[in-house]
């Protein structure tokens, strides 16, 4: 926290220009808010500042009143005096609306510039620059390219960066820091002001903003003004009835009812969820229940988002169900309550989301967390307790990201035409995230860009110059947001854009006739155009539909929160061991935490039932049954992901077999090869050198899809691939494996590894766990069989539209669909006969009409390449694998007849899963189809990390 100047306690408005004070009176502002009282005096003096305060506390005016005051007080104005940079275009709209009144009143011209700004407006801004320009980080990059705009930005005296905490954690922010140093080359020194939600490391974010040039950090406590209740609804008879109508189970129905009741009790409610899938699934169920709710997330079209924002703002709808798209300060009017569905995962997210309610001065922001399972409840309790103590997570700055450097060097050339490599290096390393960038790494990036013809390098004379490819590269890579192939969803009737779908969802699920949920509405696919990447749809009233999958959305639970949960559970178990009843302990929880006795009792149930040592913040418990081994480890997502990956790799290395892995913040579940015991896992954990974790993980990444996926994205930013599309599998001119081989010893590969280790793993955290074990600071115990806490995470991933016992009408729908699907039958005995026909027409025991054999493979109807593989004399490795799968399928059909054909015809159900379904010994046909539905849903939503 910066030192408070004496005048800060006085009326901060007195420091402003007289015209601004008059405008404040006209606007009805008489006394400053807390951040305005602290921040305005140093900002008026021209000092750099970071204002950390809850949404709605007047942060925008805190930053802009001193800027407007300085502009009004100048005798002459020429170019752009101030830039207001926001990460979202929607915030551009809000800022323009909020600032226009001040501009008109004070005679200051304010304009907006972003990707959708018309050519006419752009030209007008270049010819006659506004005093204040509201823009995005990406558009700032483009402003260096035009002569007139370059002249206009030479007059910049102030730069305000909104939502700087959001940018600090991303490569967009790293890009912006170099962009600001580039701006400094044209404009000279300028004042930097950042606006941030609550973060755990405000001083670090201040250094990020200013390039470590000193920063006044004005931090207003958010936790004291937040009132959050945690609630698990009791299931009643009405929920049992509603479950059938909503095509879900009674527990989910109780959640929907509770949300509907809370929405009904307030005028305007934001309902936050953690993923877009949940937004669609929960949104459609709430609409079916009759709740007056709109849906808002990043995969909906811009027009759909604006429409629902406006309807909520004007009171047409009572609630807005949203993802992190609404965390930032988009103006949707006054909000009087926030619901968080499931744990918010992080303290900063809880504060930012609930902080959107109750924006009037002195008003407490109120919210409800609807906890969906015991993990959820303990997590939410921990997060609220940490919020009250002010324990907030750090921003997680991307340091020395090489693809950002690769992106910005052509940007410098677009601004200067040519410059020395030494000067470029100097500009880049003035930016805080790149202050320690080794010169050798910078040179390697430049050489890579030169080799990819993005620029011309004259090493002998230390010159960087534009090449023929610089212009094309620059405009294709204005943004550091990775390119990921998406399909546009269009309503056939109206021609309106509904939203987007991930390529993975389209490939694994979508087909004409299928239904899915988007914007909380049901749609039927009528046509898919792969060339145009468009899905044409029609609206339907059908209550069932698949929820689209969007990749990479899950919010990771930090180590500190998971450790807090482990500690609280252990304390509760200690009370049980001392003889306390669950009712008594639930009442004690009700006194300690903002929750009720029922919610606490439901969360405590598996703790009470647990037998053996309890996993905690300082104890790992390893349990197992058969091939399932579970490490109960309360270290959060990224450390557990790293430890799980490490164990999978080392077990796989020993046995030569693959190891399946599933991770949550409290458990690492492994499906190990036969013969691997708990003792083997304990030995690996105890003997692996903590100093070797990072190297072992990097080695294991070489076969990981996530590295190949990231590598393709990074390669695009180096100009190594032409405008990369998709996930690197079909569109890319290299295969993913060939791409990895080609780039292994390049800065592209180094950056891809760094990104995976920074964003998805925590090698240092995993090393620390192993060190604590060696030092005896962390206990390691084992139990035989499964425990209550070890299995408690299994229900946490349940889908909103996937009840454990699918409704009879759903079963019948799936049965009819499979019976109508076509299948390719092929004889693997004579290899001469094959036929396509519907599953319904397949006999109970298929046999070859040519040779009479019952060794008939049931294949995908378009699997000609499998037939070619089976019939080939000399086979490639891929053909050998295809042939092996075909023979496994034929063996199933030979043993189980049409039942095997049905299972094999289901989506994503190969021979292994089909065998599992058949061998489940389902006597009841409906149960057989329920098993198929479960496998299909798993397949459609597969987002395997590795």
Mean pLDDT of 565-581: 95
Other Cβ atoms within 10 Å of 687 Cβ, number: 10
Q: Yes or no: say if 63 and 38 are a contact pair by the CB < 8 Å rule.
A: no
Element (H, E) at 193: strand 191-196
- Same-domain pairing of 823 and 925: yes
Q: Yes or no: say if 810 and 635 are a contact pair by the CB < 8 Å rule.
A: no
- Same-domain pairing of 211 and 320: no
Pick from 282-296, 303-317, 845-859 the range whose average pLDDT is largest: 845-859
110-113 β-sheet, strand order: 110-113, 132-135, 82-85, 158-161, 191-196, 49-52, 216-219
Domain end residue (candidates: 170, 192, 221): 221
Instruction: Read off the pLDDT band of 443 (50, 70, 90).
Output: very high
- Same-domain pairing of 184 and 242: no
- Same-domain pairing of 463 and 425: yes
- Same-domain pairing of 620 and 736: yes
In CATH, what number is assigned to the domain containing residue 452?
Answer: 1.10.10.10
Pick from 217-226, 375-384, 719-728 the range whose average pLDDT is largest: 375-384
What Å distances lie between residue 220 and 73, 196, 356, 593, CA to CA? 29, 10, 15, 24
Given a cut of 70, is residue 329 above it in pLDDT?
no
Instruction: Read off the pLDDT band of 177 (50, 70, 90).
Output: very high
Mean pLDDT of 63-74: 92
The answer to the question of residue 578 being in a domain is: no
Which residues on neighbouring strands pair with residue 516, listed in sequence order?
523, 546
The pLDDT of residue 547: 59
Crossing angle, helix 911-918 and helix 877-896, to 10 degrees? Answer: 20
HEC string of 538-583?
EEECCCCCECCCCCCCCCCCCHHHHHHHHHHHHHHHHHHHCCCCHH
Q: Yes or no: say if 65 and 132 are a contact pair by the CB < 8 Å rule.
A: no
- Same-domain pairing of 844 and 867: yes
Give percent of the chain above pLDDT 70. Answer: 88
The answer to the question of residue 565 being in a domain is: no
Tokens of 204: 């670090």
- Same-domain pairing of 64 and 16: yes
- Same-domain pairing of 159 and 48: yes
What's the Rg (C-alpha) of the chain? 30
Instruction: Read off the pLDDT band of 190 (50, 70, 90).
Output: very high
The answer to the question of residue 563 being in a domain is: no
Mean pLDDT of 494-503: 76
HEC string of 20-52?
HHHHHHHHCCCCCCHHHHHHHHHHHCCCCEEEE
- 886's CB contacts (< 8 A; 6+ apart) are 826, 828, 857, 859, 866, 869, 870
In CATH, what number is assigned to the domain containing residue 492?
Answer: 2.40.10
- Same-domain pairing of 113 and 261: no
**Rounded distance between C-alpha atoms, residue 158 and residue 908, angstroms:** 56
Given a cut of 80, is residue 709 above it in pLDDT?
no
Q: At 332, phi and psi to the nearest 5? A: -125, 30
The pLDDT of residue 722: 57
The answer to the question of residue 394 being in a domain is: no
Given a cut of 60, is residue 733 above it in pLDDT?
no
The answer to the question of residue 528 being in a domain is: yes
In CATH, what number is assigned to the domain containing residue 269?
Answer: 3.40.50.300
The answer to the question of residue 717 being in a domain is: yes
Q: Yes or no: say if 218 and 52 are a contact pair by the CB < 8 Å rule.
A: yes
Chain CA centroid to CA 297, Å: 12
- Same-domain pairing of 778 and 907: no
Owner of token pair 């009409």 = 849
pLDDT digits (tens, 9 = 90+) for 760-808: 899 999 999 999 999 999 999 999 988 999 987 643 333 444 333 445 6
**Rounded distance between C-alpha atoms, residue 715 and residue 721, angstroms:** 6
Which range (224-228, 366-370, 539-543) has the least confidence?
A: 539-543
Helix (H, G, I), strand (E, B) or coil at 462: coil
74: left (phi over 0), alpha (psi -120 to 50) or beta: beta
The model's pTM? 0.76
- Same-domain pairing of 472 and 498: no
Quote the domain boundaries for residue 421. 402-476
- Number of structural domains, the chain? 6
- Mean pLDDT score of the chain, rounded to an integer? 85
Chain CA centroid to CA 427, Å: 31
Domain end residue (candidates: 194, 221, 248): 221
The answer to the question of residue 685 being in a domain is: yes
Given a cut of 50, is residue 664 above it in pLDDT?
yes
The answer to the question of residue 802 being in a domain is: no
pLDDT digits (tens, 9 = 90+) for 16-58: 999 999 999 988 888 888 889 999 999 999 999 999 987 666 7
What Å distances lie between residue 152 and 55, 72, 890, CA to CA? 32, 18, 72
The pLDDT of residue 800: 42
The pLDDT of residue 731: 39
Q: At 226, phi and psi to the nearest 5? A: -120, 130
**Rounded distance between C-alpha atoms, residue 13 and residue 24, angstroms:** 9
DSSP 645-693: HHHHHHHHHHHSS--EEEEETTEEEEEPPTT--HHHHHHHHHHS-GGGH
Other Cβ atoms within 10 Å of 411 Cβ, number: 23
**Rounded distance between C-alpha atoms, residue 17 and residue 25, angstroms:** 13
- Same-domain pairing of 205 and 229: no
Owner of token pair 């009528």 = 526
337-341 β-sheet, strand order: 226-231, 365-370, 337-341, 269-272, 319-322, 293-296
DSSP 882-918: HHHHHHHHHHHHHHHTHHHHHHHHSTT--HHHHHHHH
Domain end residue (candidates: 354, 389, 424): 389
Mean pLDDT of 716-736: 54
The pLDDT of residue 730: 38
Which range (337-351, 439-453, 506-520, 877-891) has the least confidence?
A: 506-520
The pLDDT of residue 99: 84
Q: Yes or no: say if 632 and 667 are a contact pair by the CB < 8 Å rule.
A: yes
Instruction: Read off the pLDDT band of 93 (50, 70, 90).
Output: low
The pLDDT of residue 743: 86
């Amino acid at each position: 926290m910066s030192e408070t100047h004496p005048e800060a306690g006085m009326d901060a408005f007195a420091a402003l220009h007289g015209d601004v004070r008059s405008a404040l009176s006209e606007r009805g502002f008489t006394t400053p808010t807390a951040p305005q009282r602290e921040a305005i005096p140093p900002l008026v003096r021209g000092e750099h500042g970071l204002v950390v305060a809850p949404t709605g506390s007047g942060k925008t005016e805190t930053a802009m009143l001193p800027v407007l005051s300085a502009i009004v007080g100048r005798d002459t104005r020429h170019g752009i005096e101030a830039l207001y940079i926001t990460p979202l275009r929607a915030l551009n709209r809000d800022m323009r609306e909020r600032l226009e009144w001040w501009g008109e009143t004070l005679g200051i011209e304010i304009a907006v510039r972003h990707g959708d700004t018309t050519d006419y407006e752009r030209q007008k801004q270049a010819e006659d620059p506004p005093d204040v320009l509201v823009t995005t980080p990406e558009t700032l990059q483009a402003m260096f390219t035009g002569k007139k705009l370059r002249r206009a930005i030479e007059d910049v005296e102030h730069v305000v960066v909104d939502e700087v905490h959001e940018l600090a954690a991303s490569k967009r922010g790293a890009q912006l820091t170099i962009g600001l140093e580039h701006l400094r080359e044209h404009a000279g020194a300028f004042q930097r002001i950042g606006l941030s939600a609550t973060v755990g490391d405000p001083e670090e974010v201040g250094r990020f903003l200013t390039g470590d040039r000193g920063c006044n950090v004005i931090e207003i406590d958010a936790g004291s003004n937040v009132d959050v209740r945690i609630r698990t609804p009791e299931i009643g008879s009405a929920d049992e009835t509603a479950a059938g109508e909503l095509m879900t189970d009674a527990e989910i129905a109780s959640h929907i009812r509770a949300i509907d009741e809370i929405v009904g009790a307030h005028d305007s409610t934001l309902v936050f969820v953690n993923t877009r899938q949940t937004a669609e699934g929960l949104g459609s169920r709430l609409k079916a229940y009759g709740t007056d709710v709109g849906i808002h997330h990043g995969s909906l079209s811009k027009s759909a988002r604006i429409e629902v924002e406006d309807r909520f703002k004007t009171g047409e709808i009572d609630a807005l169900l949203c993802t992190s798209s609404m965390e930032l300060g988009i103006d949707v009017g006054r909000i009087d309550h926030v619901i968080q569905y499931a744990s918010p995962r992080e303290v900063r997210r809880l504060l930012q989301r609930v902080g959107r309610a109750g924006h009037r001065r002195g008003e407490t922001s109120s919210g409800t967390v609807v906890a969906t399972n015991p993990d959820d409840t303990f997590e939410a309790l921990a997060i609220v307790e940490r919020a009250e103590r002010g324990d907030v997570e750090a921003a997680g700055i991307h340091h020395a990201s090489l693809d950002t450097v690769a992106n910005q060097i052509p940007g410098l050339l677009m601004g200067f035409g040519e410059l020395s490599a030494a000067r470029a290096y100097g500009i880049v390393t003035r930016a805080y995230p790149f202050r320690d960038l080794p010169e050798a790494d910078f040179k390697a990036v430049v050489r890579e860009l030169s080799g990819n013809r993005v620029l011309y390098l004259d090493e002998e004379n230390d010159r960087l110059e534009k090449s023929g490819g610089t212009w094309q590269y620059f405009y294709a890579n204005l943004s550091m947001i990775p390119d990921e192939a998406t399909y546009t969803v269009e309503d056939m009737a109206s021609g309106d854009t509904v939203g987007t779908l991930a390529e993975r969802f389209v490939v694994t699920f979508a087909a004409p006739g299928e239904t899915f949920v988007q914007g909380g509405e049901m749609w039927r696919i009528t046509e898919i155009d792969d060339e145009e990447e468009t899905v044409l749809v029609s609206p339907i009233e059908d209550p069932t539909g698949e929820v689209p999958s969007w990749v990479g959305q899950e919010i990771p639970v930090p180590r500190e929160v998971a450790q807090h949960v482990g500690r609280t559970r252990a304390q509760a178990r200690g009370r049980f061991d001392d003889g306390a009843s669950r009712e008594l302990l639930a009442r004690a929880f009700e006194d300690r935490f903002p929750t009720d006795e029922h919610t606490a009792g439901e969360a405590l149930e598996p703790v009470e039932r647990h037998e053996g040592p309890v996993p905690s913040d300082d104890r790992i418990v390893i349990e197992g049954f058969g091939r399932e081994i579970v490490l109960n480890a309360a270290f959060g997502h990224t450390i557990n992901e790293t430890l799980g990956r490490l164990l999978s790799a080392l077990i796989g290395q020993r046995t030569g077999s693959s190891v399946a892995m599933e991770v949550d913040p409290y458990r690492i579940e492994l499906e190990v090869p036969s013969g691997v015991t708990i003792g083997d896992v304990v030995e690996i954990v105890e003997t692996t050198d903590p100093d070797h974790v990072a190297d072992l993980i990097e080695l294991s990444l070489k076969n990981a899809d996530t590295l190949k996926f990231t590598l393709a994205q990074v390669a695009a930013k180096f100009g190594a691939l032409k405008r990369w599309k998709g996930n690197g599998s079909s569109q890319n001119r290299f295969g993913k494996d060939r791409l990895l081989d080609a780039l292994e010893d390049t800065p592209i590969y180094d950056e891809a590894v760094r990104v995976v280790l920074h964003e998805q793993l925590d090698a240092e955290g995993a090393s620390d766990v192993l060190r604590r074990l060696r030092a005896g600071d962390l206990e390691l115990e084992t139990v035989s069989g499964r425990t209550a806490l070890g299995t408690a995470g299994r229900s946490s991933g349940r889908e909103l539209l996937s009840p454990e016992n699918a409704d009879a009408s759903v079963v019948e729908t799936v049965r009819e669909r499979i019976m109508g699907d076509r299948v390719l039958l092929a004889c693997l005995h004579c290899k001469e006969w094959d036929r396509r026909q519907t599953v319904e027409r397949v006999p109970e025991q298929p046999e070859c009409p040519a040779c009479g054999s019952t060794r008939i493979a049931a294949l995908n109807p378009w699997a000609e390449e499998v037939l070619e593989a089976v019939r080939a004399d000399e086979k490639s490795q891929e053909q050998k694998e295809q042939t092996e799968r075909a023979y496994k399928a034929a063996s199933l059909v030979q043993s189980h007849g049409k039942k095997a054909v049905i299972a094999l015809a289901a989506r994503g159900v190969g021979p292994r899963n089909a065998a599992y379904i058949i061998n489940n010994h389902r006597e009841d046909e409906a149960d057989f189809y329920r098993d198929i539905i479960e496998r299909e849903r798993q397949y459609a939503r597969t987002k395997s990390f590795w």
